[in-house]
Amino acid sequence: MAHLVNYIYIVSAALFILSLKWMNSPATARRGVFAGEIGMLMAITGTLLAHQVFNWQWILAAFLIGTAAGIPIAYIMPMTAVPQRTAMSHACGALAAALVGTAEYYRDPVQPKYVLVALIVETLLGFLTFTGSLMAMGKLQEVLPQRPITYPKQNFVNLGLFALAAALGVRIILVPTDMWMFPIFAALALLFGVLLIIPIGGADMPTVIALLNSYAGLSACAMGFVLDNKMLVIAGALDGSSGLILSIIMCKAMNRSFANVLFGAFGQIQKKSGPVEQRPVRSASPEEAASVLEAASSVIIVPGYGLAVAQAQHKIRELFDALTRRGVDVKFGIHPVAGRMPGHMNVLLAEADIPYDRLFEMDDINSEFPQCDVALVIGANDVTNPSAKTDKTSPIYGMPILEVDRARTPLYYMDKTLMLFGDAKAFVSEILKELPAAKAAA
């Protein structure tokens, strides 16, 4: 039986690795999801066999309850709420790890020191990730203010709270029989998770979600050491490392450091001294926008979170089809932090069946903007703002952007810019009505 379980774990680990590899591309992402699901099913089966758990009534009940909750969430959840659902998943996974660690401690507090170290790491990361993920979900859902919630000496208080929780954890490791300390330790970890996230603004949520994913994975990895489960160690390490790498990519995309994201309170309302400069804005009607697109030979569409809010992805697909029929070369420029979670725009456009080979990352598409006739920005702002390159007083100065200002018809106050005011879905629908290609198709 032991050999069979080891073989199951090896195959499961390979499927987890392949899952991460395949999910790196939209073209193979679905295959990656299936590989991860099969790998997890095999890992659970192997664990049940290893511990000779044959009381299937409870296992089946848990499976049915989870399925009954998961399927409706998957089908009912709108694309705009996927970041919230992701944060909720982190919260549930982290809480499960923390509760397992708590149960293991109270089952037998006198364990080898390395097990107690892993147990403290597991519960500390699990509890703070649980409340932190709930706070992130609240901000994304706008139940909590998206702006940073700050107070004097906040970073000092937060770091002091974490240090106190860590000190209690060390005390538990050294004197595990003083069991009255564990509830205080857990409460401090839960409180720290709240205080860690509330000073972070909504614009930083993509990085925060990736970081919370890393914390949850590391908590699961530590749980593997506590339970002596090799598969948990592997799965948790993969989850934790991939989340950390993704966080680094997000920070690089914003030209920010981890410390600045976590403790910089980015997004606070800034008071500007002196008069506010009034600059002219050229607005355009759907008819004018359609004529500009009709005359173009190349168009780069830049989607943002506003597109997701307006649920305009299917109208964008119709616009893509209409322009393509006219022989226009249409591409999509995707910024790494566009939307509210990593890969949000890729998922959104994939839902509308926009061809994968039309989606380009920032570094690949920026060189094409000077040869582009029209850059159509829909629901994006910071990720295309030229102030990031020119205005040293701007809070986003230094952030790499999609260089739409280099296109022949770019954005904002430039002389060659047209601003299209209105709901993204409704406005794209009006543009479609004015395009001859769309009229002919109808």
Residues known to be catalytic: 382
Crossing angle for the helix pair 154-174 and 113-140, to the nearest 10 degrees: 150
Q: Which residue carries 């699990």 as its tokens? A: 126
Euclidean distance between CA atoms 207 and 136, whole angstroms: 11
Euclidean distance between CA atoms 112 and 121, whole angstroms: 15
Within 13 Å and on the Cβ side, how many CA atoms surround 232? 20
Ramachandran angles phi, psi of 407, nearest 5°: -75, 165
304 within 8 A of 442, measured Cβ to Cβ:
no
Q: Which residue carries 């910024």 as its tokens? A: 335
Looking at the chain, the number of H-run helices and the number of E-run strands are: 18, 4
What does 179-200 look like in DSSP terms, one character per residue? Answer: TTHHHHHHHHHHHHHHHHHTTS
Residue positions counted in the chain: 442
Whose CA is closest to 283, among 407, 381, 177, 411?
A: 411
Strands (E), 281-390: 298-303, 329-334, 359-361, 374-378
